[in-house]
Amino acid sequence: MSGIGSGGERRTSLHGFWSSRLAFVLAVTGSAVGLGNIWKFPYMTGQYGGGAFVLVYLLAVLLIGLPIMMAEILIGRRGRRNPVTTMRLLGEEESGTRHWQWVGALGLLGGFLILSFYSVIAGWTVAYIFEAASGAFNGATPAEINARFSALEGSPWRTGFWHTVFMLGTILIVARGVERGLEQAVRVMVPGLVVILLLLLAYAIGTGAMGPALEFMFRPDFSAITGGVVLAAMGQAFFSLSIGMACVMAYGAYLPQDASISGTAAAVVAGDTIIALLAGLVIFPIVFANGLDPAEGIGLVFKTLPLAFGGMTGGLLVGVLFFLLLGFAAMTSAISLMEPSVAWAMERFGINRALAGSYVGGVIWVLGFATVLSFSWLSDFRFLAGTLFDNIDFLTSNITLPLGGLLITLFAGWFMSANSTAAELDPRAGALYRCWRVLVRWVTPALVVVVFLNSLGLFR
């Protein structure tokens, strides 16, 4: 089978292989492209000062995101197990200790926490398919659109219901196996999403406010680059690229031995970044043309795009399609957030995928109510970073993901031998390999540590 490569005694995957390199690219793209690009990137750009945030974000994607994504795929393919076992096996092989398994465990925990709130926001997206279909956006004013979102956000019943619908859908798909269906879904959904974003871009240009939007996103105010902005931008790079919690590592375990890791990672990173920027270029002209506040927060996408759907010809259909596709994009991301835990539970307890998916999904569903209630009954319950949702978001994006990523680069750069990493990364690309190794040993870990230290001021 394709798991046996030039190394001779290579491990083989326990849960099958992706049918091709393209299938893997599609799966990782499906994981990366989601609410992080369309919902989170624009609202964070708005909250953290526009161009300053975008600039730091792009640097973080290139210098931190890309090297870590390559490291994760490489480790995953070499270990060929769930992230906990992979890190334990490789840790024993390369540095004689089992303790690297805690990096995998940290990843599992991160996946639980992230999906608990991700599913709630994805639920809103599903709710908006029906809002769009009802024709309610047609000719609606910003105030009306605003009120619709607040009504949804403030109702624990509605928000909880859609969270439940989304989680059930995710569990069903996970139970049926990663490979089946996922490929086809991503193949249709990502291009579909891009086409609709381009349509919306035309609308955004028509608002006449593209000038201020471009200025906001791409003319950085360097004095706005604070420790908080840098931490947030780095956290967003981890979140959007799905790295730091061994999610890409879990997928890498199913990657055929002959596929190029650097090419795959570069394609996914480029695609993910373009889609995020595109979302910003659609949303900010609508913000400025309607006198809305770019720092609006988590409701930004739900308060801006409906104005476009309500104001364009055929907007009803475009709106329905958009939220449908975004819901699917969120689902392919949600599946990937569950995969490390599901693969672990299957291997650890010898249960099948359906059972593992149901247990993992059930726990996440319950946890999700912390977020559901953060927007309603518990909205005044604040500590540290804010509401319960704010804390889960801060803890994952800004702490556990970067920490996991840091440990992963240190492992790949300092504890794995150059022989092992070179055997996985394309040996033909000598200069590229050396460049990756310098990044992963020095540049990437140093940057993550500096950002961490620099943000300590936030906690004083």
Q: Which residues bind ligand TRP (CB under 6 A)?
A: 31-32, 34-37, 114, 239-240, 242, 245, 247, 333, 336-337, 401
The Cα-based distances of 30 to 178, 268, 335 in angstroms read: 12, 9, 9
Which of 273/421 has CB closer to ligand TRP?
273
Q: 398 or 420: whose CB is closer to ligand TRP?
A: 398
Closer by beta carbon to ligand TRP, 29 or else 420: 29
Q: Is the alpha carbon torsion for 182, 187, 190, 195 positive or negative?
A: negative
Give the three-class secondary structure for 18: coil
Which residue, 73 or 292, is less far from ligand TRP as judged by CB?
73
DSSP sequence for 419-449: HHHHHHS-TT-HHHHHHHHHIIIIIHHHHHH
Q: Is 383 helix (H, G, I), strand (E, B) or coil?
A: strand
Q: Which is nearer to ligand TRP, 28 or 289 (CB)?
A: 28
Closest CB to ligand TRP among 34 and 306? Answer: 34
Torsion of CA 107, 109, 110, 115, to 10 degrees: 120
Nearest approach, Cβ of 323 to ligand TRP (angstroms)?
A: 15
CB of 339 to ligand TRP, least distance (A): 9
211 to 92, 205, 218, 425: CA distances (angstroms): 56, 9, 11, 43
Q: How far apart are CA 183 and CA 18, in angstroms?
A: 9
Using Cβ positions, the residue closest to ligand TRP within the complex turns out to be 36
Nearer to ligand TRP, 245 or 373 (CB): 245
Q: How far is the CB of 44 from ligand TRP (least distance, A)?
A: 12
> Given the complex with ligand TRP, which of 244 and 310 has the nearer CB atom?
244
Name the burial class of residue 359, with classes exposed (0-12), middle (13-18) and buried (19+) by CB atoms within 10 angstroms of its CB: middle
Q: How far is the CB of 157 from ligand TRP (least distance, A)?
A: 26
Q: Is the distance from CB of 248 to CB of 28 less than 8 angstroms?
A: yes
Question: Residue 278 — left, alpha, or beta (φ > 0 → left; ψ -120 to 50 → alpha)?
Answer: alpha
- Least distance (Å) between residue 299 CB and ligand TRP: 17
DSSP 270-290: HHHHHHHHHHHHHHHHHHHHT
Q: Cβ 165 to ligand TRP, closest distance in Å?
A: 18
In the complex with ligand TRP, the residue whose CB is nearer, 242 or 341, is 242
Please give the single-letter amino acid code of residue 374.
S
Shortest Å, Cβ 449 to ligand TRP: 20
How far apart are CB 209 and ligand TRP at their closest, in Å? 26
**98, 92 contact by CB (below 8 A):** yes
Q: Taking the complex as a whole, how short is the minimal distance between the CB of residue 337 and ligand TRP, in angstroms?
A: 5
211, 217, 222, 225 alpha-carbon torsion, rounded to 10°: 150
74 contacts 261 by C-beta, under 8 angstroms: yes
